[in-house]
Amino acid sequence: MQWVMVYLVGLGVIFSLIFAYYNFRKGSKMEHGTPTMKDIADSIREGANAFLKREYMTFTPILLVVGIIFGVIFTPWAGVAFVLGMAMSALAGLIGMKGAVVYNERVANEARLGVERKDPSAMGKALNVAFRGGSVMGLSVGGFAMLGLLVIYIVVGMIFQYANPDNLKVTTSIVGLDIILFPQVISCYSLGCSSIAVFNRLGGGIFTKGADMGADLVGKTELGIKEDDPRNPAVIADCVGDNVGDVNGNGSDLLESTIGAVVASAVLPSAIQIASLNTSRPITRELVSRMMEYPLAFLGVGLIACVIGVLYVLFRKPSDKLSRELNISLWSSAAIIAVATLVLSYFFFGDQDLSSVDFRFGWISPWISAVIGIVAGILLGMFAERYTSEKYKETQRVADLAKSGPALVIVGGTSTGWRSALPSCITLGGAIILSSVFSGIYGSAIAAVGMLSFVVATVSVDTYGPIADNAGGISEMTHQDEEVRKITDSLDSQGNTTAAIGKGFAIGSGVLAALAMMMAFANEGNVGGELNIIHYLAMGGAFIGVGIMHWLSGRMLNSICSNAELMVDEVRRQVRENPGIMTHETKPDYKTCVDICTKSAIAEMRVPVFVALLSPIVGGFVFGPMFVGGFLLGTILDAVVTATALANSGGAWDNAKKYVTSMKAKLTKEFGEDRYKEIHDASVIGDTVGDGFKDVVGPNQDIMIKLMATISVIMLPVINAFNLFSLIIK
Amino acid sequence: MQWVMVYLVGLGVIFSLIFAYYNFRKGSKMEHGTPTMKDIADSIREGANAFLKREYMTFTPILLVVGIIFGVIFTPWAGVAFVLGMAMSALAGLIGMKGAVVYNERVANEARLGVERKDPSAMGKALNVAFRGGSVMGLSVGGFAMLGLLVIYIVVGMIFQYANPDNLKVTTSIVGLDIILFPQVISCYSLGCSSIAVFNRLGGGIFTKGADMGADLVGKTELGIKEDDPRNPAVIADCVGDNVGDVNGNGSDLLESTIGAVVASAVLPSAIQIASLNTSRPITRELVSRMMEYPLAFLGVGLIACVIGVLYVLFRKPSDKLSRELNISLWSSAAIIAVATLVLSYFFFGDQDLSSVDFRFGWISPWISAVIGIVAGILLGMFAERYTSEKYKETQRVADLAKSGPALVIVGGTSTGWRSALPSCITLGGAIILSSVFSGIYGSAIAAVGMLSFVVATVSVDTYGPIADNAGGISEMTHQDEEVRKITDSLDSQGNTTAAIGKGFAIGSGVLAALAMMMAFANEGNVGGELNIIHYLAMGGAFIGVGIMHWLSGRMLNSICSNAELMVDEVRRQVRENPGIMTHETKPDYKTCVDICTKSAIAEMRVPVFVALLSPIVGGFVFGPMFVGGFLLGTILDAVVTATALANSGGAWDNAKKYVTSMKAKLTKEFGEDRYKEIHDASVIGDTVGDGFKDVVGPNQDIMIKLMATISVIMLPVINAFNLFSLIIK
């Protein structure tokens, strides 16, 4: 089956990357907008490129050193895989982001042209363009992620034969560490992807939210100008941040989840093989191979299915039903995957002796587990919508509380987020139980693979959001006609809902991926497939794990505050020193704001990233693998509730503000102009608080748990060989 | 050693209760304040009594039914113990609260008399009176908690011989359940205490915060009147709530933690005995007995030491150094305990063969574990102070952020709370690891006992806070001289710090107590001393556990919002319909506000309490004990970070507001009158949000984890006998 897997993944990669290139070129060739539009788009492009350049310049050397260390202590392949992971993640993010920047302008222009031509399907066409822009990121993520993994599989696994079950045994590295080579190498690939993801998400997040909050705090509140008013000096920085954080960061986040899930489920079979050696029914070598290849093949099918799904949306007749348009790509991809992988499961496991593994219903079991993952992913999105959309009562209630002032808006939105965590946790907990009932320990890893198999479609829809948002910004900044802005506003508002759904999905899939890595951790090395949480080292680790996760989150919020304060000062300074800005006589100095955000974001992200990377390592050196197992559990359990709560509180506040704005006429009539302003201000405070919650802290928790789980898997041989606790306490 | 234990506990109980009675009487005999003071105190008393009466009338019948069920399915003793636990907890809370109500007025009056007499030590004397008032609660909590347990121990354990190690074996109850009688009975006693605690804490919390936020939202913001202005109709309800929630609720919370820790550590030896039967070195029966009696004896020593500590503070010459005065009782009690229990440890374990248990350094090991608990408790308090006191930079930073508006105050305060969770988690995780290294699984339960051994001193200091707060309220409402209010303000401000410290301690000790119960759960029945968290049922349970905990917290916040909204409407209505209120011509209708809060609190608390009680039972019936073990872990891990974060965010916001107020002159000079008002308003919004966080959600998480752990231990025999999952999946 090895070749079936290689062909499926290869085809998927080729289709995705060609289609991504096609969509990118198509966007670049589209007509530029008005000269001011082009100007603004150029400023955004410059700012985003400058940030990424600086970020990569700062951190790449450090990461290269890490790669070299891996190469020396494990195997040169580990170092190569780590660097390859970095490269693939960076490439996917970069291309996707450049695509988004190109399309920001084109969507705004498409809306403008549509209104000029009085085209009745103008909105559908603009949506189509925005979605095409998003698909550049979606397709790059899927394509590059699997390209790198495929290369490693072919070179290290097949040519050098390390994926051969005969070679899946403990060997000694050059410095004397006990490792199993192939799992170690692909785990390093996964960590390479994670490292770039955390830089993009966290750096971009601090950048964009500092700019966003800073712009809003002075602009809306003190100067009384609207969001995206070109007189606000921080407005370009805000757009740059959207592209870096919400586009690039989100893409590399999901890329990393996908690779994490696939790698974890490809690592588990080697652990299952080792565990089964001492039993009466040892697992066959062929089955081990198939279980390793199955998740990759599954993703290959996923890529192809998503290409079809995206194609279908792009080439059908555009309609005005925005939400339906976007959902079609998800649903059609998911449906194709569900059918095609049933066949795949039969091919992979139909002829195998499965008595040595926990497949309750034979060959169909892993397929059922994967479908459970797909269904869970869809459910997570639905719950997110129910708690954050202004169509439902939860968000309406938050809006209603604005009548009693900002304090109750905050308390009410917090309550919404917290309560929303339960259905998500039940979905994930239920998915873990069910998928494992069907396919044993392999099941929950495969559920994660299933959930992430339509990642291309998800990321395409996700990226549509910030593209529409920035298109709206550009329309606003270039003073487009009211009709144009109506179109971009509708696209943007739809983007808020897809963002909330996408976040639910990203958190859920990230948690499952981290969990699969943690399972791999517990099944390798001397933790031995069990993690007795009643043991004091594991329990102590769990306590410190939840503590670290909260600390990291608090630290990120602090960074946003600092960056926002800098931005507030700068905006106030420019407006004060240059009175021409407010009278439209002179243009504000956008570049300085971008520079300040760039410097501040890069300075602020160092500490949390290094704490996240080092804490499981230090914990492992002091207390050993039991402690690290508990620690990972703590981080995952903390992240699953907190990230969901933050994402949904933030979404509810955002949409509650929109709801209040939409009720302006009614509220003004009922309470008068002044009271309306008070109510609206209260809702804006909730929205501002939620910005950092939902776009920085939540998503980054999700990345950090994966980062910590992956680094723990990689460092396990080292921790096994040496830890202080086992030296002192026998 | 049984009689040594009985004498120590008996003496401790007698000393505590006599001293509590003495202090209560002394307060009642003190001169009443001015007639208006007495009027207000009477209204508070009436309101508090009415609430408690209604609450107990509503829930006692349900609890009695639960007691009867326990009596039928386990053993009649279980039912009796459950009801006795309820009675002891209710009695302690009631007497302590009545004492607090009496002393509210006396403290205000003492300050007034001191100022009249121009007594230079007026502040010290008022502090002394307030602390004496607090000690009524502290001493009742310790006395009644141990009285009930001692009675059960003597009757069930000694007279009926069920605590005899020969009888610590699995027997079959009348309905065919496998139980070990004595552990089952004392666990039911613990649950009885928990049930009353959750009603007092949650009901009181919703009551008081609804009133508080409602009063502030209309009073401070709309009417522009100060806190505790007698024109505010919700002001009496606020004071009533303080007595019900912060006094009675807090007392029964800590009572429950103490009993939980003692019971869990008395349950563990029977599990250790059963586990050791199949080993080469079975544990001696004498050692099992001693290990069961040791935690009780430890608490007996704790009671006596605290009586001495409290006596010392009350009878030394009063000084103006408030914080030092209060700390003396804690430090002196802790020091006496540390020394006395070293002797105790020697008596209990010095002559025993300890080779069958994990006591690393022989007889001194459990003492070391207990001292680790004491030190951890003190550290938790210190961290809470560092993050919440306006003397330190964290809170000053939150105050500073008020210059950039309310959104950054919220984000900054949230960040402070989240980061503050790490040191607490490290302290607790470290205490778990260290105490277990010294004394095995018994160690972490004994660490909890150690931490709670000076509970009398802690609760006395804790209760001082709301007494001082209400004394300040009474002074304000009765328009006392500026000097008088200065004294009560100082007392109150000191109370805020002690409240933050007390919360850190309550959360930490509650978490350790719940953890000890969870250990007891895992070591009894067929979970069998191990809880493999990698198992899908345990992992699924952990996910759902964190989800439920967040849902409960969100639900509580919602209740506060609803109650606050009702209060806002009522206050607005009264002020509108009765213009004489604002001109001091007519008195507002305080009683209606109290009634609304009472009804609303009782209605709102039903759902969370029943969800907390039923979710582990339902989970157990469906998925069995592995699931429940994971579930409990999830709730504990969620509560330890969230409760700490909420307590410290709330404390930081509260004190940041006080800090802004104290800087009024400076800020007004720098920014002008209008900007100062904006900055102050921003800080008030943080404070209002924090009220519900720190006084309702945080403390109740702490109670609920104990409730869930205890009910799980009790229901384990039932879940073992029947669960759906084991029927379907073999």
pLDDT tens-digit map of B573-597: 998 999 898 888 898 999 999 999 9
Closest residue of chain B to A210, computed from CA coordinates: B408
Q: What pTM was computed for the model?
A: 0.95
pLDDT-above-70 percentage for chain B: 99
Closest CA to B400 of B660, B647, B652: B660
Q: Record the tokens describing residue A512, joined without a space.
A: 């499952």
Half-sphere exposure for B339 (CA within 13 Å, toward CB): 7
**pLDDT, position B528:** 59
Test mutation, A380, A415, A571, chain B, max B CBs within 10 A = A415
Q: Which residues of B touch A402 (CB under 8 A)?
A: none
pLDDT tens readout for residues A458-470 = 999 999 999 999 9
Average pLDDT over residues A693-698: 92
**Contact across the interface for B404 and A530, Cβ inside 8 Å:** no
Place B494 in a pLDDT band, splitting at 50, 70 and 90: confident
**Contact across the interface for A428 and B543, Cβ inside 8 Å:** yes
Distance from CA of A213 to the nearest CA of B (A): 9
Tell me the C-alpha to C-alpha distance, in Å, between residue B726 and each of B186, B624, B730. 29, 7, 6
What is the rounded distance in angstroms from the CA atom of residue A5 to the CA atom of residue A1? 6
Closest residue of chain B to A511, computed from CA coordinates: B543
Q: Does B433 touch chain A (CB under 8 A)?
A: yes
**pLDDT, position A170:** 87
Average pLDDT over residues A37-51: 91
Distance from CA of B132 to the nearest CA of A (A): 36
**pLDDT, position A528:** 59
Cα–Cα–Cα angle for B558, B562, B564, rounded to 5 degrees:
115
Q: Does B32 touch chain A (CB under 8 A)?
A: no
What is the rounded distance in angstroms from the CA atom of residue B620 to the CA atom of residue B628? 6
pLDDT tens readout for residues A580-620 = 988 888 989 999 999 999 999 999 999 999 999 999 999 99
B420 contacts B383 by C-beta, under 8 angstroms = yes
Average pLDDT over residues A425-447: 95
**pLDDT, position B556:** 95
What is the rounded distance in angstroms from the CA atom of residue A631 to the CA atom of residue A622? 13
Closest CA to B682 of B394, B388, B411, B392: B411
**pLDDT, position B213:** 85
Q: Is A529 left (phi over 0), alpha (psi -120 to 50) or beta?
A: left
**Contact across the interface for A633 and B549, Cβ inside 8 Å:** no
A703 contacts A253 by C-beta, under 8 angstroms = yes
pLDDT-above-90 percentage for chain A: 66
**Contact across the interface for A557 and B432, Cβ inside 8 Å:** no
pLDDT tens readout for residues A533-550 = 989 999 999 999 999 999
Q: Record the tokens describing residue A501, joined without a space.
A: 């759904």
**pLDDT, position A211:** 87
pLDDT tens readout for residues B261-315 = 999 999 989 888 887 877 788 889 999 999 999 999 999 999 999 999 999 988 8
**pLDDT, position A392:** 93
For B667-710, list the strands marked E by DSSP: none
Average pLDDT over residues B423-440: 96
- What is chain B's percent helix, strand, coil content, to nearest 5? 85, 0, 15
Question: What sign for the dihedral angle of Cα B721, B724, B728, B730?
Answer: negative
Average pLDDT over residues A324-346: 90
User: Lowest-pLDDT range, A59-63, A272-276, A423-427, B160-164?
Assistant: A272-276
For A169-288, list the strands marked E by DSSP: 171-172, 178-179
What is the rounded distance in angstroms from the CA atom of residue A558 to the CA atom of residue A394? 28
Q: Which residues of A touch B428 (CB under 8 A)?
A: 543
DSSP B595-614: HHHHHHHHHHHHHHHHHHHH
Distance from CA of A420 to the nearest CA of B (A): 7
What is the rounded distance in angstroms from the CA atom of residue A66 to the CA atom of residue A516? 24
Rg (CA), chain B: 25
Q: Does B533 touch chain A (CB under 8 A)?
A: yes
- B-contacting residues in A 403-422 (Cβ below 8 Å): 404-408, 410-412, 414-422
Query: What is the DSSP-derived secondary structure letter of residue A517?
Result: H
Query: What is the DSSP-derived secondary structure letter of residue A179?
Result: E
Closest CA to B420 of B448, B389, B459, B391: B389
B363 phi and psi angles, rounded to 5 deg: -60, -25
Q: Which residues of B touch A219 (CB under 8 A)?
A: none
Question: Between residues A497 and A504, which one has the greater pLDDT?
Answer: A504
A534: amino acid identity, one letter:
I
B34 SS3 class? coil
Q: B221 pLDDT exceeds 80?
A: no
Place B152 in a pLDDT band, splitting at 50, 70 and 90: very high
Query: What is the DSSP-derived secondary structure letter of residue B248?
Result: I
pLDDT-above-90 percentage for chain B: 66
Place A525 in a pLDDT band, splitting at 50, 70 and 90: low
Closest residue of chain A to B537, computed from CA coordinates: A433
Closest residue of chain B to A400, computed from CA coordinates: B565
Question: What sign for the dihedral angle of Cα A684, A688, A694, A695?
Answer: positive
Provide the β-strand partners of residue B32: none
C-alpha of A608 from chain center: 18
Q: A526 pLDDT exceeds 60?
A: no
**pLDDT, position A1:** 79
pLDDT tens readout for residues B449-483 = 999 998 999 999 999 999 999 999 899 889 898 89
**End-to-end Cα separation, chain B, in angstroms:** 47
Q: Does B534 touch chain A (CB under 8 A)?
A: yes
Q: Which residues of A touch B423 (CB under 8 A)?
A: 547
A372 contacts A435 by C-beta, under 8 angstroms = yes
Question: Between residues B324 and A141, which one has the greater pLDDT?
Answer: A141
Distance from CA of B487 to the nearest CA of A (A): 30
**Contact across the interface for A542 and B419, Cβ inside 8 Å:** no
**Contact across the interface for B405 and A685, Cβ inside 8 Å:** yes
Average pLDDT over all residues of chain A:
91
**Contact across the interface for A405 and B221, Cβ inside 8 Å:** yes
B532 contacts A532 by C-beta, under 8 angstroms = yes
Q: B673-692 and B625-662 are packed helices; what angle lies between their axes, rounded to 10 degrees?
A: 160
**Contact across the interface for B410 and A547, Cβ inside 8 Å:** no
Q: Record the tokens describing residue A58, joined without a space.
A: 């700062």
Q: Record the tokens describing residue B645, joined without a space.
A: 């974060």
Tell me the C-alpha to C-alpha distance, in Å, between residue B148 and each of B85, B96, B189, B193, B300. 7, 17, 8, 10, 13
Q: Record the tokens describing residue A381, joined without a space.
A: 């999105």
Place A730 in a pLDDT band, splitting at 50, 70 and 90: low
Q: B379 pLDDT exceeds 90?
A: yes
Q: A92 pLDDT exceeds 90?
A: yes
Q: Record the tokens describing residue B338, joined without a space.
A: 């540390």
**pLDDT, position B67:** 96
A222: amino acid identity, one letter:
E
Q: Does A553 touch chain B (CB under 8 A)?
A: yes
Average pLDDT over residues A202-222: 85
What is the rounded distance in angstroms from the CA atom of residue A47 to the CA atom of residue A204? 12
Nearest to A543 among B429, B533, B557 (CB): B429
B104 contacts B44 by C-beta, under 8 angstroms = yes
- B-contacting residues in A 624-643 (Cβ below 8 Å): 633-634, 637-638, 640-641
Q: Which residues of A touch B420 (CB under 8 A)?
A: 554
Average pLDDT over all residues of chain B:
91
Q: B599 pLDDT exceeds 80?
A: yes
- B-contacting residues in A 186-245 (Cβ below 8 Å): 213, 217, 221
**Contact across the interface for B633 and A568, Cβ inside 8 Å:** no
Nearest to A568 among B404, B533, B688 (CB): B404
Q: A120 pLDDT exceeds 90?
A: no
Q: A527 pLDDT exceeds 60?
A: no
What is the rounded distance in angstroms from the CA atom of residue B638 to the CA atom of residue B172? 36
**pLDDT, position B255:** 94
What is the rounded distance in angstroms from the CA atom of residue A462 to the CA atom of residue A471? 15
Q: Does A550 touch chain B (CB under 8 A)?
A: yes
**What's the ipTM?**
0.95
Place B317 in a pLDDT band, splitting at 50, 70 and 90: confident
Q: Cα dihedral angle (A605, A607, A613, A618), rounded to 10 degrees? A: 180
- B-contacting residues in A 658-687 (Cβ below 8 Å): 685
What is the rounded distance in angstroms from the CA atom of residue A218 to the CA atom of residue B432? 48
Place A325 in a pLDDT band, splitting at 50, 70 and 90: confident
**Contact across the interface for B561 and A411, Cβ inside 8 Å:** yes
What is the rounded distance in angstroms from the CA atom of residue A140 to the CA atom of residue A392? 35
Question: What sign for the dihedral angle of Cα A486, A488, A494, A496?
Answer: negative
Provide the β-strand partners of residue A172: A178
Average pLDDT over residues B9-15: 97
A256 contacts A197 by C-beta, under 8 angstroms = yes
Q: Record the tokens describing residue A610, joined without a space.
A: 């290094």
B550 contacts A435 by C-beta, under 8 angstroms = no
CB pairs under 8 A between A and B: 260
Closest residue of chain B to A636, computed from CA coordinates: B543
